[in-house]
Structure 1
Amino acid sequence: AVVQRAGAAVLGTDAPVRAELTRHGPAASRRRYTRAVGTAVVLAAAVAAVPLALGAPWWSVLPVLVLPLLALPLAADRARGLGHALADGHVVARSGTLARRRDHLEVDHVIGWNLRATWFQRRLGLTSLVATTAGGPQSVTVIDVPEPLAVALAAETLPHVVRQFLA
């Protein structure tokens, strides 16, 4: 509540702070699970390989096998944390887990959009939409957005710039 009041005082409106966010869909959620659980599996395998290679009994590495299970709630929270909105002239982007981050950028301060996608994101139809600005951190990134949603958000905020690139 304190953060919401402070955000509303700084922005001059509480609409961006309280805005309902557009979810990024199942592909973005699967990506959160794949990254969290996949990393935990690789880490658990690497940690378990060392004692086994040194001749330790197999049961001594059982506690390490819990790592992928611990990654599941982390992935669920990261998936639940993804979202974006356009509210009262502000672009809102949320991501993260444990330390959740919600960025607000006034549309008038957006000077351009970049769509960046890794090979893995392109295979899932996702992109990272980066709002470029001249002040502050220089950009605000909306991660793992389905491409049609990313293009629609960019076109809605800077129609005179984006429209010329749409077919």
Structure 2
Amino acid sequence: MTLLRSAIGLSLAVSALAAPGIARAGTCEDTFTKKGNEIGGIRFVATTTVPDMSPKIAIQQLRGIVAAKGYDIIAEEAEFGSMLIEQPMTGKARAFPIEITATQAAGMGTVVMEAKLRAGMTVKKELAMPEMCSILNQLKGGKAGIAAAKAGAGAATVQA
């Protein structure tokens, strides 16, 4: 967990620097980026901002969302706004980690999801963006978010 916290600390620092632009950026699809290359590894980053949503509530909601989609939940620290999930290995597709970091500033909850493909793996942006944004676009703030968090807090992964 120490390694996860260190990685999350770095992610939080990067998120904090990017947060002002993200808050005005709009939808997850507007903020979606693809970085890197097939040789060194490709990274996809998706971000969403939701009013009145704490990091803990965001992570608890995400647990229910990603578990229902069949992702493996590797580590979760809702109190610190962090989660590590993995798309399970299927057929020819190898598993890869996805880091999720949630922060809150000025009443706005920001969630950053970063998929890190291993060297040699490739996925088209047109396939990655709808998958990642479909997860983030389900997040809710306020009372609806609290209710969704309660439902998702104990969710277990549904195997395909």
TM-score, normalising length: structure 2: 0.26
More strand by share: 2
Larger Rg: 1
Higher helix share: 1
RCO higher in structure (CA 8 A, sep ≥6): 2
